[in-house]
Each structure stands twice: as C-alpha cells, then as structure tokens.
C-alpha cells in the first residue's frame, strides 16, 4: 500500500504542507504550453498566443500565431519563443511586451529549421550560449537567439529519436532524452556548444517530459508508460559523476484508491526548487496534477494532488500553479497551494 509521506515529501520552502485546490479556470480553446514572464501568464494554442493576468484570470491581449506546440521565455530580452509545425518545424520569436503594447500586432521573426513533428523547445540562457534548442523529427537544432542562425544539430549517440530537452543551468549545459525500445531510452547531458555528452548509466523506459531543479542539482524525468517518476541527483559540487537515480511511484492523497497507472505528460519545477508539478494520465479518474517534493526518496508515495481532466502542460506564475488542457472547450486552471 502507498505510505502517506505528504508532509515530508511535498512541503513548500517555508515548511508549510501543500493543500492544492482549484482557484478558477480561464477558457482558451486548444490551450497548450504556458510560460510566466513575471507579470503575465502566456498560453499558446493552435492559432493564438494569449496573455492572462494571473491575479484575476482576465485575458489581457492575444496575437494570432499559428501552430504553437511548445513555448519558452527569455527574460533578459523579453522574448517569447514558440515552436510548431507538423511536416515542417518552425520557431517563431516575438517580444511579449510588444504584444501587450500593440494590442496583439507585434512583429514576429521565424525560422524553418527541420522536418517532422516538434517535440521539445528549451532556452540556453547562459552568457556563453544564448541559443534556442528546438527538437523536431527526433533531432535537436541549436539556433542563435539574435540572428536565428542554425549553429549546430545533434543526433543522440544511441540512435534513438530525441524527444525532450531542457536547460540544466547549474551544470552548464542541456539535458536531452531519447525514446526507443522498452528499457532502451536514455538521458544525456550536453555542453552549451552541443559537445561532450554524458550518458546516464541507468536503464530507463521511454522518457516523457523532464525538468531541471537547479538548487537541488536534480533532473526529473517522467516515464511515458506506467507513470513512474525518475529523479537523478547530481553531485552538489557539479559534474556528472556519481549520479544517483531514484524511482518514485505516486498516488494522489485525495483518491488513494486510484491505480498507479498512466504515463506522465509533463514535469515543471517550482521557483526555488521546493517541489515539482507532475501531470499523469489516468484510467479511471481525470488526469492528476501531483505536487511532488524534492525530499521524496525512492519508493511509493501518497502526495497532494488535484484532478484536471485532459491536463497536459503545467506552469507556475502569479502565486498559482497552472494546468492547461486542449480541445475546443480547452483552457487553463489556476491551482492554489
């Protein structure tokens, strides 16, 4: 049976136990990826990029930009980066404040960079990097932020398609993962220039979305099959030797009878790294949004969570956790905790 370690395993930085509850939902058809720019929550959909005031849920501005499937935000330049496409992949860049100031008519710069469906987007925000890493068709393309010049491409040495990428800023590089045959997926670390790969020494099943927790030197990666969460703890002093892998099996404290089944859609680490939001598909209950603490050891855990039907992406911003769900009746749900 799951053991209830919710207090030790999912507590905020101040030591207060998390009690997630719904605040409100904003209707945005086909809602998808989200980022918070420090003032507004930005939501990408099939045909719009929308700014929401997180305090009230009011829509502040929208701009038509078709096909956003993944999104990132570069704070130094105030730039939204948007990845989309189907047969051909494209990255768009647009200034967030110009969308607000111009009532949804800001200039957009674009680059078509590859073929196949997009599967991930991340920013290398280091002073030495300042690149965007975009994944499509199983390959990662490195694009300069300023000029939109392609400066490199990466195919993983294991031969499997790359499916995820996120910045491991405190290690000084990027984490990539691949998906292949069961038990053959892998996790890689690449430096800013796309060289010097580190290969995870652990056997993993197909990996879904991942997130880097800088303060704890930890990488979280979801499992696309039975919904286990992998936690990789890197040495506090830096480097990639001596990494410890933990496997977490999660059950929501609100419905502890629910089966431990369903692949993980996404993982987002909270500011400061106290905990992560984990979205997992379910069979007999709506999709679960779990609050999983950094202190969780390997094993089976009962943790705080809420059910958001169809949830795919998560974000933090404006004092809330957010979950988005697609479809004509889609939207974003603000979760107080």
**CA–CA separation, 41 and 36 (whole Å):** 4
Residue 272, pLDDT above cutoff 80: yes
Q: Give me 116's structure tokens.
A: 């196949």
| Whole-structure pTM value | 0.92
Q: Please check whether residue 33 is in contact with residue 41, taking contact to mean a CB–CB distance below 8 angstroms.
A: no
The residue length of the chain stands at: 337
- Identify which of 142-151, 182-191, 218-227, 244-253 has the greatest average pLDDT: 142-151
How far apart CA 289 and CA 151 sit, in angstroms, is 37
**Overall average pLDDT of the 43-62 stretch:** 96
What pLDDT shows up at residue 259? 57
What's the whole-number mean pLDDT along residues 308-337? 95
Q: Number of C-alpha atoms within 13 angstroms, CB side, residue 323?
A: 31
Side by side, which strands form the sheet with 229-233?
3-4, 299-303, 244-252, 229-233, 218-223, 207-213
Give Cα 120 to chain centroid, integer Å: 9
Q: Find the range with the poorest average confidence among 14-23, 27-36, 55-64, 244-253.
A: 14-23
Longest dimension (CA), the chain: 56
Mean pLDDT score, 42-58? 96
Q: Which residue has the tokens 């990488």?
A: 219
How far apart are the C-alpha atoms of 186 and 158, rounded to whole Å? Answer: 8
How far is it, in rounded angstroms, from Cα 20 to Cα 293?
13
Q: How far apart are CA 135 and CA 119, in angstroms?
A: 6
The continuous run of DSSP H or E covering 101 comes out as helix 96-101
Tracing tokens 């491991």 back to the chain, one arrives at 168
Tokens 């068709």 found at = 137
Q: What is the mean pLDDT of residues 157-185?
A: 87
In this prediction, residues 136-149 reach a mean pLDDT of 94
Average pLDDT, the chain: 88
Can you give the pLDDT at residue 131? 94
Separation of alpha carbons 280 and 326, rounded Å: 15
Start-to-end Cα distance in the chain: 26
Take residue 193 and report the two structure tokens written for it: 């220039």
Give the model confidence (pLDDT) of 293-322 as tens digits.
Answer: 988 899 988 889 999 999 999 999 999 999
Question: Is CATH 2.60.40.10 what the domain over 3-336 is classified as, yes or no?
Answer: no
Residue 254's pLDDT is 75
């Amino acid at each position: 049976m799951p053991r209830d370690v919710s207090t030790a395993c999912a507590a905020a930085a101040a030591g207060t136990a998390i009690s997630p509850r719904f605040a409100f939902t904003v209707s945005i058809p086909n809602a998808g990826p989200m980022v918070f720019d420090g003032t507004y929550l930005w939501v990408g959909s099939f045909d719009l990029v929308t700014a929401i005031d997180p305090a009230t849920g009011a829509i502040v501005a929208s701009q038509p930009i078709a096909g956003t499937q993944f999104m990132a935000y570069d704070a130094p330049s105030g730039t939204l980066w948007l990845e989309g496409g189907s047969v051909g992949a494209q990255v768009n860049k647009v200034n967030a404040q110009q969308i607000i100031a111009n009532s949804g008519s800001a200039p957009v710069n674009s680059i078509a960079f590859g073929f196949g469906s997009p599967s991930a987007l991340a920013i290398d925000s280091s002073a030495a990097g300042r690149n965007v890493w975009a994944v499509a068709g199983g390959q990662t393309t490195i694009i300069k932020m300023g000029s939109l010049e392609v400066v490199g491409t990466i195919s993983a040495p294991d031969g499997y398609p790359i499916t995820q990428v996120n910045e491991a800023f405190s290690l000084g590089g990027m984490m990539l993962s691949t998906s292949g045959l069961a038990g053959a997926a892998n996790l890689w670390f690449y430096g800013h220039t796309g060289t010097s790969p580190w290969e995870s020494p652990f056997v993993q099943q197909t990996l879904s979305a991942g997130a880097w927790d800088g303060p704890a030197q930890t990488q979280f990666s979801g499992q696309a099959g039975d919904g286990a969460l992998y936690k990789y703890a890197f040495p506090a002093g830096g480097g990639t030797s001596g990494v410890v892998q933990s496997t977490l099996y999660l059950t929501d404290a609100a419905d502890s009878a629910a089966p431990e089944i369903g692949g993980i859609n996404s993982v987002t680490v909270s500011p400061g790294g106290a905990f992560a939001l984990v979205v997992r598909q379910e069979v007999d209950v709506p999709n679960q949004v779990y609050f999983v603490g950094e202190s969780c050891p390997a094993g089976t855990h009962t943790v705080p969570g809420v059910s958001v039907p169809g949830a795919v992406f998560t974000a933090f911003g404006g004092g809330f956790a957010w979950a988005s769900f697609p479809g004509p009746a889609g939207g974003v749900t603000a979760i107080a905790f």
